Structure 1
């Protein structure tokens, strides 16, 4: 197994509470994470934890698609969100969003810790980085 850490900081022109509310709604990740096309089985029965299944759609050669169901556990702690994603290909992704007031908006620190079989780590890290950067842009557009 190989590891990769990806970090990114960006600004959103909305209050931290509004950003937090958006990031704790599983349905928000449809389109926010460009690979996520569906969310189901949302479970909020445990205080401070939101569990759900998301479907990531991968396209290969612009012809083939593969729908990858992933289990997500999202934990909340004040203005931080963190959790883990487990993919059937033995890819694990721990993530954390820390939100801080920044003028009239929010500074978001986004960290991804990826663990994958050595054969897949390059592909998985590339996909994760693309999603991370797109998520920053889309979140800023949605909430500004």
Structure 2
């Protein structure tokens, strides 16, 4: 399965603990990812949280499509990580590494996007990069 890795590092003027707490809550991803408009079916376990997120996509700028993705979210000693499984054949592993720095936190946002075909990967990676860059702005506005 072809894949691509995307990285973006940015600074937020808040503590790693505050960021970890925010990024560990499924509801925080509504609007944090510009595509995510809702979350539901949240199931919390000791090690991880599973839920369904609704991504609202526009295909060809005309057709609105609500893509229901399965998300697994877990905290780590250095941040938050997770996995997304889309019914369209796209898989996404992500990690937010949080490092205290300069009165705030450096956030390293890493995405590994996989898809069944190269054209689907190109589309998914382009969307993932748009979301990744927007997420930095939203997270900074929310917590920084």
| TM-score, normalization by structure 1 | 0.95
Say if 1:17 and 1:79, in contact at 8 Å, map to a contact too.
no
Does the aligned pair in 2 maintain the 1:14–1:106 contact within 8 Å?
A: yes
- 1:132 corresponds to 2:128: no
For residue 63 of structure 1, what is the aligned residue in structure 2?
62
1:60-86 deviation per Cα after TM superposition (whole angstroms, max 9, x unaligned): 344310000000001111232112100
Runs (4+) off by over 2 Å: 60-63
- Written as runs of structure 1 = structure 2, the 5 A alignment for 1:41-120 is 41-44=41-44, 46-117=45-116, 118-120=118-120
Q: What do the CA deviations read for 1:43-67 (whole angstroms, capped 9, x no partner)?
A: 11x2120111000000134431000
- Correspondence for 1:9: 9
Q: CA RMSD, aligned part only?
A: 1.0
Cα deviation 1:99-127 (Å, max 9, x = unaligned)? 01012110001100111022301100000
SS in structure 1 at match of 2:27: helix
Where in structure 1 are there 5+ consecutive unaligned residues? none
Write the distance in 2 (CA, Å) between the matches of 1:48 and 1:106: 24
Q: If the length of structure 2 is used for normalisation, what is the TM-score?
A: 0.95
Tell me the number of residue pairs that the alignment of Structure 1 and Structure 2 aligns.
143
User: Which ranges of structure 2 fall in alignment gaps of 5 or more residues?
Assistant: none
**Are the counterparts in 2 of residues 48 and 77 from structure 1 also a CA contact under 8 Å?**
no
Distance 2:98 2:61 in 1: 36
SS in 1 for 2:88: coil
